[in-house]
Chain A
Amino acid sequence: MSAESRGENPITALGRQVWGSIFRHGLPVSDKVAARTALTNFFLHVHPVRVKRSAIRVSYTLCLGGLSFFLFILLTISGLFLMFYYVPSTNQAYQNIQDLQFVATFGLLMRNLHRWAADAMVITVWLHMARVFYQGAYKPPREFNWAIGTLLLLTTLLLSFSGYLLPWDQLAIWAITVGTNMAKYAPIVGPFTHYVLLGGRTVSQGALIRFYVLHVIALPLVGFVLMVIHFWRVRKDGFTGGL
């Protein structure tokens, strides 16, 4: 039925059409409408339409997986902001961080948020792993998703570690020196790995640009792909629910 035959104002009708083309269904006034909304919404589709009540009890999940993902998004957004001000050069990086802290509007807040969210993410991912273990949720058919989760924990640690160097202060350069020195101890491949990681024998410009590229592109991409697989498998392998 056209808008004219209903006697509706054409502007209102156009508005209704635009809104309806984006959101196919209305507010979740009933379970049925809510299910339709979830089915036809790209973002809501990360969840199944229905799930066992016990599987999403907060006392069971502790929200740790969701919080880790939330922190990843928060870190992406705040990190994007920091990238506008940051040049990965040993001559400029430290000055850029100081500008962020003392000159750029909300720069200090963004850097603090980025730093504390990164530490929080290491903790939430780690606790998420512990929660999944204690509930035996890694058992068949979820063996592979546990392995993906292990790789996500490693990615989180490497993301945090690569970001540690970027401020180019005494804390950064020496923490990375201590951290990467451990790679040297590996038999045969150790010194070579150390050299490739740093782009040289010491932590200098070569290491800074490598860690920067890893931090802002390579590792987030790896993490994103692993997360997509992780979430998809959570749905496909089914939910565990209460013990």
Chain B
Amino acid sequence: MATLTGPTGPGTGAGAQGDGGRGDGARRAAVGSRPPVVRPGVSGPELAAAPLVVRRVEEEETVVTFPTLVWKEFLAGLGMFVLLLAVSVQINAPLLQIANPAITPNPAKAPWYFVGLQELLEHFPPVMAGVMFPTFVIVGMLVTPYLDRNPSRRPQDRKVAIVMFTVYLCLAVTFVLVGQLFRGLGFNWDWTQIFGHPGLQSPY
């Protein structure tokens, strides 16, 4: 495998020359610790999938992280910083009246990323919405890699996992959006925040 990939990658020469053990990480990255895909005596679809092997060779090409990766990270960080500066100049962080335990605002909402849980409270008993669902999601995420026995990373082999995760993501986003945008006085359903009052002239 190493001889196969050597000539294709412009940078693999440094590892192959072996500069006194200092290029240890380089050599490991260039050669790869996984067993080679093409083995004598291997049979079945692995051998038949010739294009896959070609792509593996291409994948083994390595680059130096400095400056290649560092440069990308710098640009991404700079872009994010400029974006946040632009938003911060235009929009002020919210600040209402001083806290008053005697006056409950209507509606009282949790921070936006927890509003989905608040929305769940409207549909399920508190012990389910407030305790069981979050616990299930957290524990479920922690054990996901141990439950998922499918070794493939290719999307076409992981239809069930991808559908399940997508359903979870869509539910989470929907509940947050509903709680944030479509809940008005008393946390009751309210179209008017987004769509306005039908038949009424907007005051703005």
Interface residues of A (CB under 8 A from B): 28, 31-32, 34-39, 41, 44, 47-54, 56, 58, 63, 66-67, 70-71, 74, 90, 94, 97-98, 101, 108-109, 111-117, 119-120, 122, 129-130, 133-140, 142-143, 146-147, 150, 154, 157, 160-161, 164, 167-175, 177-179, 182-187, 190, 202-204, 238, 240-243
Contacts and interface: CB of A to CB of B under 8 A. Distances in A.
A59 to B, nearest CB: 11
Given A35-B23, A63-B72, A136 B142 contact: no
Interface residues of B, number: 81
In terms of DSSP, what is the predominant structure of the interface of chain B?
Answer: helix
A130 B164 CA distance: 12
A169 B96 contact: yes
A37 to B, nearest CB: 6
Given A112-B93, A170-B97, A187-B131, A138 B67 contact: no
Nearest to A172: B99
A120 B60 CA distance: 34
Nearest to A204: B101
B2 to A, nearest CB: 14
B200 interface: no
Contacts of A114: 93
B64 A111 contact: no
B84 A74 contact: yes
Given A44-B66, A173-B101, A52 B142 contact: no
A187 to B, nearest CB: 6
Nearest to B30: A50
In terms of DSSP, what is the predominant structure of the interface of chain A?
Answer: helix
Interface in B91-112: 91-101, 103-105, 108-112
Nearest to B65: A47
A48 B62 CA distance: 11
B95 A186 contact: no
A52 B98 contact: no
B76 A66 contact: yes
30 contacts: A28-B66, A44-B65, A47-B66, A50-B15, A50-B25, A50-B29, A50-B63, A51-B65, A70-B76, A111-B93, A113-B88, A116-B88, A120-B80, A130-B169, A135-B153, A136-B158, A137-B153, A140-B151, A142-B145, A146-B145, A160-B111, A161-B114, A168-B98, A172-B99, A173-B100, A182-B118, A182-B121, A185-B127, A187-B131, A203-B99
